[in-house]
Amino acid sequence: MQGFFEWFQVGWDKIWGWMPALMESTAVTLELTAASVSTAVVLGVFLALGKINKNGVIRRLSAAYIFFFRGTPLMLQLYFVYYTLPDILHKLFDGSSLEFIATGPLSMQSRFFAAFLAFSLNIAAYLAEIIRAAIQSIPKGQMEAARSLGLTYGQGMRLIVIPQAYRRMMPPVCNEFVMVLKDTSLVAIIALMDLTFQTKQIAALRSSELVYIPAMIIYLILSGVFTLIFNKLEKKLAAHE
Amino acid sequence: MVMVQTEDLCKSFGELHVLRDVSVTVQQGEVICIIGPSGAGKSTFLRSLNQLETINSGKIFIEEQLLLHRENNATIARAGKDDFKSLLLQMGMVFQSFNLFPHKTVLENITLAPQQVKNTPKAQANELAGVLLEKVGLAEKAGEYPSRLSGGQQQRVAIARALAMEPKIMLFDEPTSALDPELVGDVLAVMKQLAAEGMTMLVVSHEMGFAREVADKVLFMADGIVAEEGPPEVLFTNPQNPRTRQFLNSVLPQ
């Protein structure tokens, strides 16, 4: 028992020294989550509209996209974007006038960008179904009223239907956000210094396994804070009801 | 001028023939009430006019211009893109379930379409909305959200919203059917006022009193056809078609 307290004390002191590094990697986790989810929401709206489009080709393309990204492991998607995609682009465009495609951001010089791209594309597929359900839960009469006033389908969606769908998609989007916050820990496989990878590094190199405890507490705080924010947002959006 | 004319409109939902060769002519300033049992095709007829439903065949003319001509579920001819849009804008519609935009205030409900569709400047749209709200007796509700209004008030806002696009023809699809009886009067009063101002109106309604008092012509629809039509004093007192008689017996107090 005496040994335990000593071990804990020593370990804990070490960890305090690593707090700045933990905070820095927490920022990476947060940035990745926020950037991916917000990009995915925009992409998800288009996918959702694609899935309910009158045009069969658009509908099938959207469905195929969703099927692909939900049907393959996120880990493999991350590997693919980081390792395979730059190779493909180099083989395709090197030496051509389109070389900039292969040498631009898609060359994955930045691990963060690779993670951001893979996560955005993946989350969009999940959000698309949530958004589609929210859009279709808005009574048909809303679009009919918009159309009867001379608005186009696009205006009706943008000004009338989607704003009302926002509130209904808030709880599932919040849920998704919190899941993504934790799922971003997967980026360790491409060695992006997020909170989880940093924690693992500290544990391995600085020999204190206690570091997993503050890491979990940080995740917990972030999840809690975002759940609160989303609840507030949902209430605010419901103000007119 | 003939404001609305249809020739042989047909519409079916799958096997169900909802409209069968409906031909109707509406003169400028006329108020037409369409009555009939549910499922007769009354609403579908109105919705076909402003393209919420696409007809299978027939011709629709608005202000004596061809809007759409279809045969066998294929378009034969239609007005050019801009004309099509502007002809549709001649018609305003009021729905049974109001369909106000719940996330917009009363004022925003009314000013949205003029600003978006006609690029009316905000100040001017607000001014017009004020006049219209005054007209429907709800000037003090401009800042409220629809959920704070009674059904009758919501429907009057919906009328103001449609009028804000300055249509020449108003389509009313059972405007009072979803209202508590004590709220019906206010909505009908607004509609009567509109009729008195010379608005061309097509009204699907079960309000026989309104039809009798305001309508120039009453159409009785059953099974997708106009079974009988005539001035209300004739149609209500001396119906020729047995279907009309049967229907009137069931809805009119003896």
| Per-residue model confidence as pLDDT tens digits over B189-213 | 999 999 999 999 999 998 888 999 9
Q: Mean pLDDT score of chain B, rounded to an integer? A: 94
Q: Is residue A1 part of a domain?
A: no
Contact A148 B52 (CB under 8 A): yes
Partners of B17 in beta bridges: B12
Compute the nearest-CA separation of A204 from chain B (Å): 54
pLDDT at B172: 97
Compute the nearest-CA separation of A59 from chain B (Å): 22
Contact A150 B147 (CB under 8 A): no
Compute the nearest-CA separation of A169 from chain B (Å): 15
pLDDT at A206: 66
Q: Which of B94, B87, B106, B50 is nearest to B194 (CA)?
A: B94
Contact B88 A240 (CB under 8 A): no
Residue B21: pLDDT above 90? yes
pLDDT at A241: 66
Q: What is the pLDDT along chain A (241 residues), one digit of tens a residue?
A: 778 888 888 777 777 888 888 899 999 999 999 999 999 999 999 999 999 998 999 999 999 999 999 999 999 999 999 999 988 888 888 888 878 777 778 777 788 999 999 999 999 999 999 999 999 999 999 999 999 999 999 999 999 999 999 888 888 888 889 999 999 999 988 888 889 998 888 888 766 778 888 889 999 999 999 999 988 888 887 766 6
Task: Return the amino acid letter for A27.
Answer: A
Asked if B26 contacts B32 with a C-beta cutoff of 8 angstroms, the reply is: yes
Q: Is residue A99 part of a domain?
A: yes
Contact B95 A144 (CB under 8 A): yes
Q: Is residue A162 part of a domain?
A: yes
Query: How many of the other CB atoms lie within 10 Å of CB of A198?
Result: 23
Q: Is residue A9 part of a domain?
A: no
- With CA atoms as reference, the chain B residue closest to A141 would be B99
Q: Is residue A50 part of a domain?
A: yes
Q: Is A137 on the interface with B (CB under 8 A)?
A: no
CATH label of the domain that carries residue A65: 1.10.3720.10
SS (H, E, C) chain B: CEEEEEEEEEEEECCEEEEEEEEEEEECCCEEEEECCCCCCHHHHHHHHCCCCCCCEEEEEECCEEEEEEECCEEEEECCHHHHHHHHCCEEEECCCCCCCCCCCHHHHHHHHHHHHCCCCHHHHHHHHHHHHHHCCCHHHCCCCHHHCCHHHHHHHHHHHHHCCCCCEEEEECCCCCCCHHHHHHHHHHHHHHHHCCCEEEEECCCHHHHHHHCCEEEEEECCEEEEEECHHHHHHCCCCHHHHHHHHHHCCC
Contact A148 B85 (CB under 8 A): no
Residue range of the domain that includes A194: 17-238
Q: Residue B66: pLDDT band by 50, 70, 90 thresholds?
A: very high
Contact A145 B95 (CB under 8 A): yes
Contact B102 A164 (CB under 8 A): yes
pLDDT at B250: 87
pLDDT at A207: 63
Contact B101 A160 (CB under 8 A): yes
Compute the nearest-CA separation of A213 from chain B (Å): 45
Q: Which of residues 148-167 of A touch B (CB under 8 A)?
A: 148-151, 155, 159-160, 163-164
Report the complex ipTM: 0.93
Q: Which residues of A touch B97 (CB under 8 A)?
A: 139, 141
Contact A149 B100 (CB under 8 A): no
**Residue A51 in 3-state DSSP?**
helix
Q: Is residue A2 part of a domain?
A: no
Q: Is residue A150 part of a domain?
A: yes
Place of tokens 């700045």: A20
Q: Which residues of A touch B101 (CB under 8 A)?
A: 142, 145-146, 160, 164
The average pLDDT across B126-147 equals 95
The count of structural domains within chain A is 1
Q: Is residue A12 part of a domain?
A: no
Report the alpha-carbon angle B104-B106-B109, nearest 5. Answer: 60
